[in-house]
Amino acid sequence: YLNEKGPFLDPDQACSDYYTDVYWLERIRSLLLFQLLMNVCTRKRNILTLSSGARQVRGVVSLYRNLNAGTHCLSDTFGV
């Protein structure tokens, strides 16, 4: 498990960092979806707004998938 401080050998530390990342990703994702819905509901049917919102959500989803792949790496390394 690597981060900017270098490798952690402690699986608890690795897992707690991972779940913190997931928590914040969920918060960001719900905020982006809420913002996207508000844009539609307030009749700002601006194609640019919607497409940039969709791009943001897609970016978060791909980041989320990468994190999910990270759990497999964690479980292989630490047996969690």
Q: Does 3 reside within a domain?
A: no
**Distance (Å, whole) CA 54 – CA 14:** 31
Q: Domain count of the chain?
A: 1
- Tell me the residue range of the domain where 74 lies: 10-78
Check residue 78 and give its pLDDT. 57
The pTM (predicted TM-score) of the whole model is 0.29
Classify residue 28: in a domain, yes or no. Answer: yes
Q: What is the mean pLDDT of each run of 10 residues along the chain (80 residues)?
A: 52 66 79 75 56 67 69 54
At 35, list the tokens: 């913002």
Of 1, 23, 26, nearest in space to 12 by CA: 1
Residue 24 lies in a domain: yes
